[in-house]
Structure 1
């Protein structure tokens, strides 16, 4: 759920999901089965825990090929000036590492993770000067990448997809849900992921837990397993939590003492947390079109179509495109068309 895995037998949670916990094949594995070379370039040190299966070339802050320059280091993560400067430097490092990987390895499929907007947004808030500067830098680096790919003739047979995995909302108030759970319930367990909290009842009364949190300041809504809302959100599986809590605007589930680290957070079903940019260009991508009702889960199906890979079982589909004033049609061509 989100960035968190909860072991119902051991009743413990861990923040980073590892590759062996993922049942479905990743795009790296699908591409590898079709003889494609894959790569990941990431500003997050732990990104490979998700994609270590099927990824041929791995370039992260902590481990990368010798032809890539040394990654920036952060001495004091609690110093805001150092934190901000480090993430800007990391952004430039990721783009330089990407160009090196494209030149040296010529991968067929590459995942690039630029973490600065997310990290800086959490610390300083989504509407901050610091986030604006981070986005400007990312925009400049994308422009340099475009020029490099065009000059190197990489763009002629490569599609580039730029997107985020979530939005972000400003926050300033804490809901200490772990303390509330420990002080009021014997069996129920909670996992926190920003502006969401996931509760497994483990024998505690659902009505009592629900009523308790409905009365808490900052709790916006509670979704129960088996409800139409849970089914619509596709969080109604056997392993899904019994209750999902969304926070009110401005609130997040966190101890009061840690609130200073977070002026921005995401996780709810609000538009500010859910809406993301999706910008595609390059080979197989028509110009001056808009995607109709595109979702982030459509990325896998679209990637396979553009690369000419045969795969199914995705939650998403290839987005339909529309020109201004026209009906939506399927304009994505796929590799070689």
Structure 2
């Protein structure tokens, strides 16, 4: 299959349509605007529907409605817009509805700026809404991976009856790379017999909501959700272990930052310093097991992020006291450089060699 040169936002939209997405509800915000623009142009060609809602709050509740009717549905936004959708995301997770949410994130807090950032890690992995719920969260590092993750996200959302998020910083949305559309791994998907598709006199009405006033019933529901999240942790963890053999420092980075880290690793190798990388592809579930397979040569972990330090909390949990955990980050839309990362590694090891 020939590869196609596409911009990230448009490639994600094309992947969603190829995965069977028929409905998109969203609201403009930089740096993800090309995604809804693409969907507005292309969805009607496959019998779908695009709606630019009056706000992010409206958009996520439209997603709730379409998901409740059993449709494959998607929304996208950037950091402040995702923040506005959090109440609806909690409702959707509580009602056990499948949908895909794309966050092409930017610097914050507040309105912040429009440059790339990874400061939405807490928001995506901890759940920005209320209650005990989780999202399956993919963090692609390339446009090909963004396409693959988006296509698989729709199957996973249906399989688990749960929202799935694909998160990429503004570079993922704006860069151009050659991509191809691969078929995702085949899954036996459950029938959507819970959907509100009309009874036609053949069954009792389906009722979809997230309200449970009886505390015993609500606890029972949360226990059911937790079992589902346990299954995700068991079956859906994705990560890359890179250059780990004889590594003295293990860096941890995701998304486009991991690509910069690989350049730093190559430069350090030329100086005789061997450094490895653990790259989470799922931010949740976090790849805890990857930290159990580190080489005996490792002296420290280094979390490298485009934030003031958020993933580092999970790195510390995963390390479980095995090794010291250090941090290097840039914030506000500033991007780490390979030289700066390499210098941090040398500082950890006690200087250049």
* Alignment TM-score, normalising by the size of structure 2: 0.27
Considering fraction of residues, name the structure with more helix. Answer: 2
* Alignment TM-score, normalising by the size of structure 1: 0.28
